[in-house]
Amino acid sequence: MLSYRHGFHAGNHADVLKHWLLTLCLQYLIRKDKPLYYLDTHAGAGSYDLRAATAARTGEAALGIGRLQGQDLPAGLAAYRELVVADAAQGLRYYPGSPQLAARLLRPQDRLRLLELHPTELTQLRKRLGSDPRVKILDGDGFTLLKGLLPPPSRRGLVLLDPSYELKDDYRRVQDTLRQGLERFATGVYLLWYPLLNLAPCRRLSQQLEKLPAAQWLQVQLQVQQPPAGHGMYGSGVFIINPPWTLRAQLEQELPVLLSLLAQDDSAQWRLWGSELGSK
């Protein structure tokens, strides 16, 4: 049985990076009327109560989304924060997971396919999004189920792969899944989140991803603190296949702002590089 529960980490610096990038990509894709498919292989519970014992125990949201509150933000970060705090009366009580953020942004003609393995998370997800006519929730292994959903009927889609990396095999499976995804749907937009950890498979992943047969890719990393001697997460990265062409310029403008808000010590830094781009 999986033990990872995203409720302990909702709204932390890693969620901010991932969900900000997700928002930017979805915003770009819905400029065209044609229906868009959003496929979330590791959907989680859909929304998280930041006052619940889980979130309160770690206090991670205060060092993540909490640091964006009350700040003057550039357009992309402001749009992400607006989606998170959709109900001003509730303020930051509930942090939306990736499925709920996507549901808030997408249109009636779009579709969401949400895959999740953990029974408790599935029950919550069904409660929150199960009655939305655009949504189908699939119970099972997201890596395996994705294959059967590609290519999407409209041939326009964004896939988010956001495993917990609880199992070492996840580092291999994300690569295999992306490779199979590209074989079936080469023009899709894919976002893969990964942690920055002092672990060999994790350190290797970023370079291994660059060998995938993707025509265009962009990689973003946000390190928020000095890497610890042990195993703690000191930042995270997102590998984006077929990124919107406007994304790089927007990230170059906004990443310095995000870094200044989320930095926990002087070694904090961001990196941005890609298939046809030089490093930062």
Residues annotated as catalytic (active site), given as ranges: 162
Figure out which of the listed residues 17, 103, 113, 121 binds ligand SAM, where binding follows CB under 6 A: 121
Figure out which of the listed residues 35, 142, 152, 181 binds ligand SAM, where binding follows CB under 6 A: 142
Q: Which stretch binds ligand SAM (CB under 6 A): 27-35, 86-94, 113-121, 146-154?
A: 113-121
Using the minimum distance from each CB to ligand SAM, give the nearer residue, 43 or 241: 43
Q: Site size for ligand SAM, by CB under 6 A?
A: 21
Interactions with ligand SAM, residue window 191-250 (CB under 6 A) = none
For residue 223, the minimal CB distance to ligand SAM (Å) is: 19
Figure out which of the listed residues 117, 196, 261, 262 binds ligand SAM, where binding follows CB under 6 A: 117
Figure out which of the listed residues 4, 8, 28, 273 binds ligand SAM, where binding follows CB under 6 A: 4
When asked if residue 254 is in the footprint of ligand SAM (CB under 6 A), the reply is no
Figure out which of the listed residues 58, 74, 79, 141 binds ligand SAM, where binding follows CB under 6 A: 141
Figure out which of the listed residues 23, 98, 124, 225 binds ligand SAM, where binding follows CB under 6 A: 98
* Residue whose Cβ sits closest to ligand SAM: 97
Give the Cα-Cα-Cα angle 118, 131, 147 (nearest 5 degrees): 50
Burial class (CB in 10 A: 0-12, 13-18, 19+), 197: buried
Figure out which of the listed residues 7, 64, 80, 116 binds ligand SAM, where binding follows CB under 6 A: 116
Backbone angles phi, psi at 45, to 5 degrees: -90, -10
Figure out which of the listed residues 13, 113, 118, 128 binds ligand SAM, where binding follows CB under 6 A: 118
Find, among 54, 25, 47, 50, the residue nearest to 38 by Cα. 25
Which residue reads 């009366």 in tokens? Answer: 89
CA distance linking residue 73 with residue 68, whole number of Å: 8
Q: Which stretch binds ligand SAM (CB under 6 A): 1-9, 31-39, 196-204, 230-238?
A: 1-9
CA distance linking residue 44 with residue 8, whole number of Å: 12
For residue 20, the minimal CB distance to ligand SAM (Å) is: 12
Q: Is the peptide bond before 244 cis (omega within 30 degrees of 0)?
A: no
Residue 60: both structure tokens together: 């991670």
Residue 193: both structure tokens together: 């989140």
CB of 11 closer than 8 Å to CB of 65: yes
Alpha carbon 162 to its chain centroid, in Å, reads 6
- Contacts with ligand SAM, 21-60, as mask; x by CB under 6 A: -------------------x-xxx----------------
When asked if residue 163 is in the footprint of ligand SAM (CB under 6 A), the reply is yes
For residue 188, the minimal CB distance to ligand SAM (Å) is: 17
CA distance linking residue 54 with residue 3, whole number of Å: 13
When asked if residue 164 is in the footprint of ligand SAM (CB under 6 A), the reply is yes
Contacting residues toward ligand SAM, per CB under 6 A: 2, 4, 6, 18, 40, 42-44, 97-98, 115-118, 121, 141-143, 162-164
